């Protein structure tokens, strides 16, 4: 079992990752060769289950690439994916301090949380259960919550004051929908800045899922430290669209000319 320490990495600088929804170990191995610091397995917006996640973490270990798992909701999947060897978690739709406290309770061992000790893959099937196992896990595992609604934004100070939260991740699509404004609008960025300010006030790293033109520059310029950039399905769709465009340019070019 590889002991990734994303919390230590975050203390040294930003974490830039990309997402995987397909559940393909081939995609995991291919992206494992990329320069991204980590891969995000998305259980919320895919059909991935905990058993799928365990196998995909094994595939990522081939390239020594840590995996962060976005669980569908606050619940038993938090402990299950961590027991499978996830280096961190993302929990969506957090809107209250009580929900943030429940995330920490499920993700961290005593004395910070109440996560149960199990002999799963993350504990080398019991062989890794040393006297320092729980403290070491608390030191290593990255715990992030998503704020992606007006309710979450309004409660950001209380949510991010909860001990044990390492980063806050904005869900831009849901936040813009909740605000009833377009992504990238002045009102959208004002909300982002408000959440990021709350994060910094409480020593929490600000971050976001990043999709679409202009979003990357916007989050980087505002100090985003944990950025999950595009993903496997988006890379495939963009690559197909780019090659189709190149084909159309070639077909439209006069005979004997070059479009490259």
Per-residue pLDDT of the chain (260 residues; tens, 9 = 90+): 678 999 999 999 999 999 999 999 999 999 999 999 999 999 999 999 999 999 999 999 999 999 999 999 999 999 999 999 999 999 999 999 999 999 999 999 999 999 999 888 887 787 778 889 899 999 999 999 999 999 999 999 999 999 999 999 999 999 999 999 999 999 999 999 999 999 999 999 999 999 876 799 999 999 999 999 999 999 999 999 999 999 999 999 887 666 55
DSSP letter string, 11-35: HHS-EEEEEE-S--HHHHHHHHTSS
Please state whether 139 falls in left (phi above 0), alpha (psi between -120 and 50) or beta: alpha
d(CA 22, CA 56): 10
Burial class (CB in 10 A: 0-12, 13-18, 19+), 67: buried
| 161 close to 97: Cβ distance less than 8 angstroms | yes
Quote the crossing angle between the two packed helices 172-179 and 186-201, to the nearest 10°.
120
Predicted local distance difference test score (pLDDT) of residue 260:
54
| 228 close to 17: Cβ distance less than 8 angstroms | yes
Quote the crossing angle between the two packed helices 25-32 and 50-62, to the nearest 10°.
30
How long a stretch of residues is the chain?
260
Which of 3, 8, 45, 193 does the annotation list as catalytic?
A: 45
What structural domains does the chain harbor?
Answer: 6-252 (3.20.20.60)
d(CA 221, CA 218): 5
Does pTM surpass 0.85?
A: yes
| 211 close to 237: Cβ distance less than 8 angstroms | no
Closest of 85, 49, 90 to residue 70, by C-alpha: 90
Active site residue 45: yes
Predicted local distance difference test score (pLDDT) of residue 121:
86
What DSSP element (H or E) covers 165?
Answer: none
d(CA 48, CA 2): 22
């Amino acid at each position: 079992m590889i002991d990734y320490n994303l919390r230590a990495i975050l203390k040294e600088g930003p974490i830039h990752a990309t997402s995987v929804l397909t559940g393909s170990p081939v995609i995991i191995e291919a992206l494992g060769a990329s320069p991204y610091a980590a891969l995000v397995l998305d259980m919320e917006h895919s059909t991935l289950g905990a058993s799928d996640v365990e196998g995909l973490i094994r595939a990522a270990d081939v390239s020594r690439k840590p995996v962060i798992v976005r669980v569908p909701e606050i619940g038993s999947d938090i402990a299950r994916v961590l027991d499978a060897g996830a280096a961190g978690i993302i929990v969506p739709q957090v809107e209250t301090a009580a929900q943030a406290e429940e995330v920490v309770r499920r993700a961290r061992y005593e004395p910070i949380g109440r996560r149960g000790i199990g002999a799963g893959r993350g504990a080398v099937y019991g062989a890794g259960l040393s006297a320092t196992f729980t403290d070491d896990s608390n030191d290593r595992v990255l715990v992030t919550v998503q704020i992606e609604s007006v309710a979450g934004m309004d409660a950001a100070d209380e949510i991010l004051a909860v001990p044990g939260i390492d980063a806050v991740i904005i869900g831009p699509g849901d936040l813009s929908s909740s605000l009833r404004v377009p992504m990238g609008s002045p009102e959208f960025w004002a909300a982002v800045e408000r959440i990021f300010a709350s994060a910094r006030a409480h020593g929490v790293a600000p971050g976001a899922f990043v999709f679409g033109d202009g979003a990357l520059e916007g989050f980087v310029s505002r100090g985003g430290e944990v950025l999950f950039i595009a993903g496997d399905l988006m890379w495939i769709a963009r690559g197909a669209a780019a090659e189709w465009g190149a084909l159309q340019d070639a077909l439209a070019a006069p005979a004997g000319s070059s479009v490259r």
